[in-house]
Structure 1
Amino acid sequence: MGKLFGTDGIRGRANEYPITPEMAMRMGKAIAAVFGEMNIGRNRVVIGKDTRLSGYMLETALTSGLISMGMDVYLVGPMPTPAVALLSRSMLTSAGIMITASHNPAEDNGIKIFANDGYKLTDAIENKIEKLILSDEEIIPKNGANVGKAYRIDDAGGRYIEYVKGSVNDMDLNGLRVVLDCANGAAYHLSPIVLKELGCEVIKEFVDPDGLNINDNCGATYAERLAGSVKKYRADCGIALDGDADRVIFSDADGTVVDGDRIIAICALAMKEAGTLTGNKIAITTMSNMGLIKLMEENGIECVVTDVGDRHVIAAMRKDNIKLGGEQSGHIIFGNYSTTGDGTLGALRVLELMKQSGKSIKELASVMEIFPQKLAGVMVKSKPALNTLPGLTALIEECEKELGKTGRCILRYSGTEKKLRILVEAQSNKVVDKWIKKFLKQAEEEIGA
């Protein structure tokens, strides 16, 4: 059966192991048992979901498992992941659960679990839950008056709206016209309201979820698509969220994509100038562009580099009291306001800087020089350690020798899919393309599905 938890919760194809209703019910029971034993919170769990059709099935099964163990369940319906993290804290829960596969296609689903402080679980707690789920041990339910109840919380969205607006002190953003792509996902209703209430003129796109169209050629992983809309509507910028709205990517008025690295750069420089960048440090991952690191060094800002995954970024931020961190993919974490990536909050902070400075996002993003970089992926049949693959090992050594200090290559397996991710960065696109082709060919030969 193997390991359940990946880099961001449990994820897979809906109605295939482990994302089945039977497993979801056992997950609910295991979560209740572990948190009940730890005696954390008030014996209640909040559950949110994105807009996937399979969310109904998993929500019901998880709820049944939790209630059978005496947990009360607060159901908040379609809700951004950061909203569930927020509600986990504010509702004095034992834990929060988000049913989502983030940026993955509609046929996938999964669960992310938050502790009662709004942060993702520690490895130790994840391991406890996983061990119990995978064991043959019977998880004994409660009976009689000791079972829990389920409640539908209708005002949860309003609580989140007010919180994120408060992150920019309800700043007046009147005069900004934005195209907002909600990926037919969890933020399809709330994020347009947030921007509109703060004064933006909002052109909404992909806000009609049908359970099957989440992330379908839209959202943060298709930010290039925004370019046409930004130009068509003569907008100041485009904003793309992903399926569970914990990522944000921008497009400038010329249709150029402004990714997570550039958003971090913009915010880091502004926070340093304002004196709010504690210790003059930011947390980023190994996938961040070398141009970001170079810019930070030039401005006296230290980059703490972590493994890929926003949970690793957040762990580094908590350890060193860092107030800003994130990933190139668009997870942006503002330590004073959120405990996980928040696409809507990240969008507001950039719009706030545009309004305050009077500069376009293109002008703000121009502070950072991008090193040519390409990310490619190969579907694999298994995930053997890379150092056991002689062809890829030799190719990595050859690439590193040629690039030296002028570039790099990073190969790693996805934590959520059967995929090898390949990143090459160099001083020219020609060199990048050459090595990407070599790595793709070799990976297909050795481990391709």
Structure 2
Amino acid sequence: MANKLFGTDGVRGVANTFPMTAEFAFRLGQVLSDLICTGSKRVAIAKDTRVSSYMLESALIAGFTSMGVDVVKMRVVPTPLITSQIQELDVDMGVMITASHNPYSDNGIKLIDRYGDKFSDEWSSRVEELLISDRKFIPSKDAIGKVYKDKTSVPTYMENVLAIAPTPDALSGLRLVVDCANGAFSKIIPQIFKSLGAGIITLANTPDGYNINKDCGSQHTENLSQIVVQSHAHLGIAVDGDGDRIIVVDNLGHRIDGDQIIAFLATYLNKHGKLKNNAVVATVWSNLGLEKYLHNLGIDFYRTPVGERYVIEKMRATGACLGGEESGHMVLSDYTRTGDALIAGLVVCLGLLEDGRKAADIFPVFNKCPCLITNIRFENADEVSKVFEADEVKAVIEAAQEQIAPQGSIIVRKSGTEPVIKVRVEGEIESFVQSLSQKIVSTIEAQRG
């Protein structure tokens, strides 16, 4: 069954609008209790700083405890913290309440298995089938769960991150500007970089429930760039609301995307003999220039469908320890199970200091091939599906793919997190890329209702 609620990264929507309602969260808690929480009968729940996260947390807790499942309440922590610490909590699964890089008005629910991995497509489908079924749950007066506060995961996570650095003052001499997106990393990131000796300026670390990702974070780096230049910092780092995405800004304020970060990390790890199986994993969305750069270094390069989960699956299949997405998800599996902006940022800083050059002299690591990405926004998911399946749209995409092969690629996909069709055209000749992109985008626009 094709999932209608669960996308590539859980379920997401506008807060207090289906499916991001208290009623939905309560039923989801009951469904997960019946389907998943049958071992220790315990679940861990974490959240980001959105005002609606508290509502959804309360509803989920009610759903789980009504079915006799105990809840370990982790409070506000980043996604990579719950994925890395979940095995220590003796739970059947975890739930992360977040809409990642989206504005405060949105929210979402990510489902995490007891090993720290996001639910597979198969398990997401099983959850969704039970959610939309007529199945009624009858709680028992003799089986009511309790709520416990987690007190160990944050200090343990921070100790593990600090242990990555070769010395306690490994970042001494580094001037750094950090944008916490008013999100889940607002307290942790400044503490870590300060503890390692960096001189830091911290931005967007005063969450109020409404300012998460607002003109800050990985999606809005303009202010970060300005402060980096004004303060003569070596580097700027921006994360998103739940801390699994990183964007870097060099000393001249230039934004460095995920592909360039992957290239830098691969070079650094390869130099130190730490690039396991001589392999790197990225998605079909990564620039062709990254693939060429890594091949020139003799590094094997693998592509997956878009989605961090698919990157991680391929990393495990190939034995790679580095994978990521152009959007900024970086997975360094020797240190973490999923994308972790703090860990990726720390390793970038270590590499920068070791190199000795200014960031603007290092980045870009490789020259990109011409690529145009257009996001076409719609009113809702139904309109997206209707346009995406239109014969005219399919025909223009097929024709364009035949024209650009084998020197380039065309990807047209529905976003897994918002009502958007993404059009990506990449090739070696810029004018040709622009022409094909315009044809596809204009055809899609013409199909609007």
Which bin holds the TM-score, normalised by the shorter protein?
Answer: over 0.9
Q: How does 1:45-444 map to 2 (within 5 A)?
A: 45-144=43-142, 146-169=143-166, 171=168, 172-380=170-378, 381-384=382-385, 388-427=389-428, 429-444=430-445
Q: State the alpha-carbon separation in 2 of the partners of residues 302 and 386 from structure 1.
A: 37
| Cα distance, 1:403 vs structure 2 | 3.5
Q: State the alpha-carbon separation in 2 of the partners of residues 220 and 197 from structure 1.
A: 23
CA deviations on 1:383-410 (whole Å, 9 max, x unpaired) are: 3387843333343244335444443321
On the 8 A contact 1:224/1:256 being kept in 2, the answer is no
Q: 1:9 to 1:201 in 2, by over 3 A?
A: same
Q: 1:208 to 1:36 in 2, by over 3 A?
A: closer
On the 8 A contact 1:282/1:304 being kept in 2, the answer is yes
SS in 2 for 1:96: strand
CA deviations on 1:293-325 (whole Å, 9 max, x unpaired) are: 000111111111100000110111122221110
Q: State the alpha-carbon separation in 1 of the partners of residues 93 and 388 from structure 2.
A: 38
| Cα distance, 1:235 vs structure 2 | 0.5
SS in 1 for 2:177: strand
CA deviations on 1:34-87 (whole Å, 9 max, x unpaired) are: 1234x2xx3221111111110010000001111112221111221110011122
| Aligned residue in 2 for 1:35 | 36
Q: 1:196 to 1:413 in 2, by over 3 A?
A: same
On the 8 A contact 2:37/2:93 being kept in 1, the answer is no
Moved more, 359-368 or 221-230: 359-368
| Cα distance, 1:362 vs structure 2 | 3.0
Q: State the alpha-carbon separation in 2 of the partners of residues 278 and 96 from structure 1.
A: 29
CA deviations on 1:79-126 (whole Å, 9 max, x unpaired) are: 110011122122222111110000111111011111111111122322
Q: State the alpha-carbon separation in 2 of the partners of residues 124 and 404 from structure 1.
A: 33
SS in 2 for 1:370: coil
On the 8 A contact 1:182/1:241 being kept in 2, the answer is yes
| Cα distance, 1:429 vs structure 2 | 4.9
TM-score, with length taken from structure 2: 0.93
| Aligned residue in 2 for 1:17 | 18
Moved more, 326-335 or 79-88: 79-88
CA deviations on 1:426-447 (whole Å, 9 max, x unpaired) are: 345554444444333221111x
On the 8 A contact 1:45/1:88 being kept in 2, the answer is no
Q: State the alpha-carbon separation in 2 of the partners of residues 388 and 26 from structure 1.
A: 32
Q: Percent identity?
A: 37
Q: State the alpha-carbon separation in 2 of the partners of residues 196 and 18 from structure 1.
A: 40
On the 8 A contact 1:46/1:76 being kept in 2, the answer is yes
4+ aligned runs moved over 6 Å, structure 1: none
Unaligned runs of 5+ in 2: none
Moved more, 261-270 or 434-443: 434-443
SS in 1 for 2:425: strand
Q: State the alpha-carbon separation in 1 of the partners of residues 403 and 257 from structure 2.
A: 28
Q: 1:243 to 1:389 in 2, by over 3 A?
A: same
| Cα distance, 1:366 vs structure 2 | 3.5
| Cα distance, 1:206 vs structure 2 | 1.0
| Cα distance, 1:170 vs structure 2 | 5.1
| Aligned partner letter, 1:343 | A
Q: State the alpha-carbon separation in 1 of the partners of residues 430 and 246 from structure 2.
A: 25
Question: What is the RMSD computed on CA atoms of the aligned residues?
Answer: 2.0
Q: State the alpha-carbon separation in 2 of the partners of residues 428 and 257 from structure 1.
A: 24
Q: State the alpha-carbon separation in 1 of the partners of residues 106 and 137 from structure 2.
A: 27
Moved more, 411-420 or 400-409: 400-409
Q: 1:363 to 1:93 in 2, by over 3 A?
A: farther
Unaligned runs of 5+ in 1: none
Q: State the alpha-carbon separation in 1 of the partners of residues 444 and 255 from structure 2.
A: 29
SS in 1 for 2:269: helix
On the 8 A contact 1:236/1:253 being kept in 2, the answer is yes
| Aligned partner letter, 1:105 | P
Q: State the alpha-carbon separation in 1 of the partners of residues 227 and 435 from structure 2.
A: 33
